[in-house]
């Protein structure tokens, strides 16, 4: 709060006393002056008492004094000089008080400004904290989803590997069982040996001839089997799959046997020898490059992100 300024005494007299003495010397009353100048009686009394309306512009007060001085034949310079001298003493305290009030208002405005800045800073701080908390929650959700996806991928890979191992185990068991079971040729040979065994003692020459015939027949069968195996091997085609991303495949050969399936990892190169035509199903064809018997297969004809089904060689595709 601003300190109250001490009152300043007006030690310099204004033009009011000069006007009152001149009016009295000319034998005029206050009412006479008010009637001649068309002033209010109270205005004339206030001017003689040096009381002026501060709400009016200074020009009005000067005009009233000049008219009053002209009526009484007093020089305007004397009246206005006294008015300005008196007015200077009265105005200085007002100016000083106004400066004090301005300083107080400025300090109050500064305080309000700092309070506003503080409230704004608190609001911004709470907004940033809320935004960071939302980001942390979103990151946690993404991490959880990534962990779940990784777990699902690992589970699928384990299941695929388990299926591959189970298939290999079953294949080995079947191979062992097939080794224990006699082939039709072996059964025929056993029957021939059993049939000719009682005749060896009676007719050695005939048994030798029969045995030679059986041996020739067996040799002929073995040659036929070897020739068929050679033909079958000649019909096998080498196919190379190169995976640029994780991709699921399922492949059947010409005999309808599934020779490869499951998820293949990024960078894996799979080489198979199979009897064509091959029926192939690919989960993401854009991630696979296929070399069929030395010929590169164009995979761009299959839409990305869609399962592709094809038969190799392409000329036999239905």
User: Could you state, in order of their start, the residue ranges of all structural domains in the chain?
Assistant: 11-151, 182-233, 235-316
Q: Print the SS3 string covering the chain.
A: CCCCCCCCCCCCCCCHHHHHHHHHHCCCCHHHHHHHHCCCHHHHHHHHCCCCCCCCCHHHHHHHHHHHHHHCCCCHHHHHHHHHHHHHHHHHHHHHHHHHHHHHHHHHHHHHHHHHHHHHHHHHHHHHHHHHHHHHHHHHHHHHHHHHHHHHHHHHHHHHHHHHHHHHHHHHHHHHHHHHCCCHHHHHHHHHHHHHHHHCCCCHHHHHHHHHHHHHHHHHHHHHHHHHHHHHHHCEEEEEEEECCCEEEEEECCCCCEEEEEEECCCCEEEEEEECCEEEEECCHHHEEEEECCEEECCCCCCCCCCEEEEECHHHCC
What pLDDT, in 10s, does the model give residues 205-216?
A: 454 335 544 455
How do residues 296-316 score in pLDDT, each as one tens digit? 998 888 998 889 998 988 864
Task: Assign domain 11-151 one CATH number from 1.10.630.10, 2.40.480.10, 1.10.260.40, 3.40.50.1820.
Answer: 1.10.260.40
Distances 159 to 95, 247, 253 between C-alpha atoms, Å? 95, 15, 23
Q: For the chain, give the mean pLDDT.
A: 75
Is pLDDT at 225 greater than 90 in this prediction?
no
Q: What is the CATH number of domain 235-316?
A: 2.60.40
Cα distances from 47 to residues 106, 155, 167, 199, 227, in angstroms, run: 38, 108, 126, 175, 147
Say if residue 158's pLDDT is above 90: no
**Residue 120: both structure tokens together:** 């704004």
Q: Give yes or no for a contact between 258 and 252, defined as CB atoms under 8 angstroms apart.
A: yes
Mean of the pLDDT values across residues 132-138? 79
Predicted confidence (pLDDT) per residue in 12-56, tens digit? 678 989 999 989 999 999 999 999 999 999 999 999 999 988 888
């Amino acid at each position: 709060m601003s300190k109250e300024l001490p009152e300043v005494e007006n030690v310099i007299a204004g033009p009011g006393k000069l006007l009152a003495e001149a009016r009295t010397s000319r034998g005029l009353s206050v009412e006479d002056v008010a009637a001649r100048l068309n002033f209010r009686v109270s205005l004339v009394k206030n001017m003689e008492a040096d009381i002026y309306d501060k709400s009016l512009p200074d020009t009005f007060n000067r005009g009233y004094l000049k008219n009053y001085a002209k009526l009484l034949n007093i020089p305007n310079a004397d009246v206005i000089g006294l008015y300005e001298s008196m007015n200077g003493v009265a105005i200085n305290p007002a100016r000083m008080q106004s400066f004090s009030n301005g300083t107080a208002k400025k300090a109050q405005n500064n305080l309000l400004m700092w309070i506003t800045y503080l409230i704004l800073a608190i609001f911004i701080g709470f907004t940033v904290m809320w935004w960071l908390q939302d980001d942390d929650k979103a990151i946690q959700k993404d991490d959880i989803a990534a962990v779940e996806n990784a777990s699902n991928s690992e589970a699928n890979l384990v299941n695929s590997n388990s299926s591959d191992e189970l298939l290999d185990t079953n294949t080995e068991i079947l191979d062992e069982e097939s080794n224990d079971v006699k082939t039709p040729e072996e059964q025929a040979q056993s029957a021939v040996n059993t049939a000719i065994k009682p005749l060896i003692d009676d007719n050695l020459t005939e048994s030798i001839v029969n045995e030679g015939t059986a041996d020739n027949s067996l040799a002929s069968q073995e040659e036929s089997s070897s020739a068929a195996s050679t033909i079958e091997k000649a019909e096998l085609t080498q196919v190379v799959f190169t995976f640029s991303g994780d991709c699921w495949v399922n492949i059947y050969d010409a005999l309808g046997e599934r020779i490869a399936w499951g998820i293949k990892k990024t960078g894996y190169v799979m080489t198979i020898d199979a009897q064509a035509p091959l029926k192939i199903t690919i989960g993401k064809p854009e991630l696979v490059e296929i070399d069929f018997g030395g010929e590169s297969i164009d995979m761009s004809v299959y839409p990305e992100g869609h399962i592709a089904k094809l038969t190799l060689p392409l000329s036999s595709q239905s």
